[in-house]
Structure 1
């Protein structure tokens, strides 16, 4: 089309007519005199618009997705980082609650027994033939060999090797471990020995063996055992709970008896422990033992008795992050 004066006049006239029709149709609303024309236009041009949209829309959406891909990736990464931070906060809050509960138990046990302790965390387990763990305190924290190591539940073992910032603990379950012990409510003493890793497989939850020095002394299943204490309070201080008698075996000749003991400490999930850096002023004897469980009443005399709860109390919690917490018992304890 040539750009002449006539074409310009025609174009201007068409624009004026179009604007007039739009104004009249808009002001008339549903009663617009041009409603019929609007319907005809929709009928004629509607299929054309839908066909063109079906062709153009996928192309435009593909173009938009390509151009917006870096932004989408950045938003996904940002959301992932936010989710990770939220998960870490939830985990930390849970650890804080566990740490608080565990330390409260540890402080209660130390206060009851009159022990001065230094709390530590187990950071690794021994891979050799010995049952050992490594804790995150050492000579720089005042730790020395042959110090008693305990948890809130009872005896863990003794320190054998000390470095500047770490120490090795020989567990009471080790085959070379031998602990002077005493039965509760009795003056009868004996030796608790570890059965090693084989003890866990061969005896389940009873990886300790107890032998009385007096073969004729009374002993019964369910009786609990505490440390007797060593000369000079090294390597074991007195009164630390060890475990409960699970079963008793008599030798062939009947001269000796061996009791198998389930420890109060769960050695397979050690986390927070305490090194006793100073012994108690007096022997706590049975004071540190957990309360005895109450027997479950039976419904009828003919009913079989229910099993009593574990005498060991609740198992250890597994909080972390307690390096260097020291506690000293109240002089009045």
Structure 2
């Protein structure tokens, strides 16, 4: 009896498998229409999918949005960091380009100083209270620097060494308010042999004062003023500035000219220190006057 039941179950299982295969084969056929049972199953499954897919997509969208926000935040922080790096690099490049241009100008200027011993130097300190009067350089006696050596930029004359240590030197600018500071100067253009002395600085106009010019000599605005070389300290022909105005001095005996400096005293970085042998003979007196 048990064997009969076992065979019956096997037969029913085989019939079920055959029926299932037949249904699958029937459902996979290319047909334009579906029967009622298939339509019912498809509608039921579709409704279930719609019911669960909406919330699932909503939750998935929330996580996707959060993930996108986190990624955007990280990318934003990264880009900010790169932007700061770029700004820093750009500032360094600009500074290096400016420094390179200054050094090129200085190197080119050395060709005009064959009779001197130009020493390149860098401004390392500046007193805010004496911003337009003194600067400190990174060259001293160990580099051959001595007091009264002329100091200039590629744009023109700026002053002379007033104090020297082993590794540094202090430069007194020609824009100083020191009444005893004089520079022997010469006016180019027009009549030859027009000499005078740079004495003083007009802080309001930010211009040098060229004094002791013969009242009979005609000067014009725009004429260039250079060092005469007669003092023995400053090399001849270094540009000092340009005349902007000519007047009669307070005593009415000589003329006074306002000179706009060629060098920018507010922006000094790289400079040159020049030395030359002291002159003999007639130039000795000029040396005394200019160095006093």
Q: TM-score, normalised by structure 1?
A: 0.61
Q: 1:41 to 1:242 in 2, by over 3 A?
A: same
For residues 133 and 112 of structure 1, the distance between their equivalents in structure 2, rounded to whole angstroms, comes to: 24
Shift of 1:121: 2.1
Contact 1:225 1:242 in 2 (8 A): yes
Which one of 265, 268, 271 corresponds to residue 273 of structure 1? 271
1: distance between equivalents of 2:101 and 2:167? Answer: 26
Q: Based on CA coordinates, which of the two structures has the bigger radius of gyration?
A: 2
What pairs with 1:86-165 in structure 2 (closer than 5 Å)? 86-114=86-114, 115-129=116-130, 131-165=133-167
Determine the C-alpha separation between the residues in 1 that align with 2:95 and 2:276: 29
Alignment match, 1:180 = 184
Measure, in 1, the Cα distance between the counterparts of 2:209 and 2:268: 20
Which has the higher relative contact order, 1 or 2, with Cα contacts under 8 A spaced 6 or more apart?
A: 1
**Deviations 1:125-174 (Å, cap 9, x if unpaired)?**
22235711222222232222211110101001111122333222111111
SS at match of 2:266: helix
Equivalent residue, structure 1, for 2:219: 219
Which residue number in structure 2 is paired with residue 228 of structure 1?
228
1:24–1:32 contact (8 Å) kept in structure 2: no
2:48 maps to: 44
Instruction: Rate the CA distance shift 1:127–1:95 in 2: closer, same or farther, 3 A.
Output: closer
The offset of 1:105, in angstroms, is 1.9
Aligned length: 250
Could you tell which deviates more after superposition, 36-45 or 244-253?
36-45
CA shift, 1:52, in A, is 4.0
Give 1:240's aligned residue.
238
CA contact (8 A) 1:229 1:238 kept: yes
Q: What is the distance in 2 between the residues matched to 1:268 and 1:134?
A: 14
Separation in 1, partners of 2:138, 2:31: 84
Separation in structure 1 between the aligned mates of residue 26 and residue 149 of structure 2, nearest angstrom: 100
Alpha-carbon distance in 2 for matches of 1:30, 1:76: 55
- C-alpha contact 1:147 1:276 (8 A) present in aligned 2: yes
Q: CA RMSD in A?
A: 3.9
Aligned to 2:9: none
Please give the secondary structure, in 2, of the residue aligned with 1:106.
helix
Shift of 1:183: 1.4
The question of whether the paired residues in 1 share the 8 Å contact of 2:213 and 2:256 is answered with no
* Structure 2: runs of 5 or more not aligned: 1-15, 280-292
TM-score w.r.t. the length of structure 2 is 0.69
Gap regions ≥5 residues in structure 1: 1-12, 282-333
1:279 to 1:184, Cα distance in 2 relative to 1, 3 A: farther
